[in-house]
Chains A and B, each alone.
Chain A
């Protein structure tokens, strides 16, 4: 029997649709974990709003992503699915760590919200933008950043041989998108972020995040969580450093997936609301089995 990787996606790019008739609203895991979260945060997931507070769209998306990943994780576990390894993309790390029991559900929620607020403040003061470029190889995308050398642009996500995300100043990102399209990219799309996430400019936030995490007691992960820089499991003592540095470092998603396939993983389950990682894995390797827990649930096909 093949081995299974649970994959925790990064921030959703649009408000999750959770209308009254959405099947997830009737799911006991959804009810339980949304209720549990409500003791700690005024964020209302079904309503996608903060009670009594005006907050940014990205913070709401970050918390939604975390909560939905955790709901799907607990659902999968209750149905007998067990990960041999856990991998994550970008801000999927918080749910990945909570799922691996290195931190608790509440700690993961608190970290997501606290880092989200730090990023929100950074966005308001320094700005920044990100764009997904599809259909150009890495050399071409790197050349675009070099050609726009008046800006500080860098590759933020290595998602596959023709899938990249660029980070940098807003004006530079707009120019990079135009350049990418003129150089035959199949698409260039702005992401919702108002910061240059996963770029060196965000390394200035590491100290604040270190400080934020100082009272959290991290435990050894129950399931190995892959570090996408070293493609080895994160050790307990590395986890806080990873959390404070990863927002200023690129995400090497393609490297992660390739390593896991080499290690004998033949089944990937995206533990979240959408199917972005599912599609990226399909591009990296068409032979492995991959599905999104969120999609399967909507179709009523989860075993």
Chain B
């Protein structure tokens, strides 16, 4: 399994900021292991769809359904791991 690196983490944080138009935030303000939904960054299902689209457009990876989405969108780190796993599969 490929290792998640800081460059990918940074890119994903930037993707979250851009897709969700979080103009007042910087990547440093997003904790890599904090929950994205609920108590953490406080995202919801409308944000989830934006991130699904963002991952597809920017990284070419697909979230096929809600079950996978729940696992992937736990934190920035789980998003990064999913991106790597999918890329390895090609």
Determine whether the beta carbon of A282 is less than 8 Å from that of B21: yes
Question: Is B24 an interface residue when CB atoms closer than 8 A count as contact?
Answer: yes
Q: How many residues of B contact A (CB 8 A)?
A: 17
A210 to B21, CA, bound (A): 42
Determine whether the beta carbon of A186 is less than 8 Å from that of B66: yes
With A135-B52, A181-B65, A282-B50 in contact, do A186 and B45 touch (Cβ < 8 Å)?
Answer: yes
With A135-B52, A301-B24 in contact, do A184 and B65 touch (Cβ < 8 Å)?
Answer: yes
With A186-B69, A279-B44, A299-B24 in contact, do A135 and B64 touch (Cβ < 8 Å)?
Answer: no
Query: What residue in chain B is nearest A180 (Cβ atoms)?
Result: B66
Q: How many residues of A contact B (CB 8 A)?
A: 20
Question: Is A280 an interface residue when CB atoms closer than 8 A count as contact?
Answer: yes
Question: Is A103 an interface residue when CB atoms closer than 8 A count as contact?
Answer: no
Determine whether the beta carbon of B64 is less than 8 Å from that of A184: yes
Determine whether the beta carbon of B49 is less than 8 Å from that of A134: yes
* Chain B residues closer than 8 Å to A163, beta-carbon distance: 46, 49
Determine whether the beta carbon of B46 is less than 8 Å from that of A283: yes
* Chain A residues closer than 8 Å to B85, beta-carbon distance: none
Tell me if B's interface is mostly helix, strand, loop or mixed. helix
Question: Is A146 an interface residue when CB atoms closer than 8 A count as contact?
Answer: no
Question: Is A205 an interface residue when CB atoms closer than 8 A count as contact?
Answer: no
A184 to B63, CA, bound (A): 9
Question: Is B48 an interface residue when CB atoms closer than 8 A count as contact?
Answer: yes
With A186-B63, A186-B69 in contact, do A280 and B52 touch (Cβ < 8 Å)?
Answer: no
Question: Is B47 an interface residue when CB atoms closer than 8 A count as contact?
Answer: yes
A280 to B82, CA, bound (A): 27
With A282-B21, A299-B24 in contact, do A186 and B50 touch (Cβ < 8 Å)?
Answer: no
Determine whether the beta carbon of B69 is less than 8 Å from that of A279: no
A283 to B49, CA, bound (A): 9
Question: Distance (Å) between the CB of A196 and the closest chain B CB?
Answer: 21
With A186-B52, A299-B24, A301-B24 in contact, do A280 and B46 touch (Cβ < 8 Å)?
Answer: yes
* Chain B residues closer than 8 Å to A181, beta-carbon distance: 65-67
Q: Which residues of B contact A (CB under 8 A)?
A: 20-21, 24, 44-50, 52, 63-67, 69
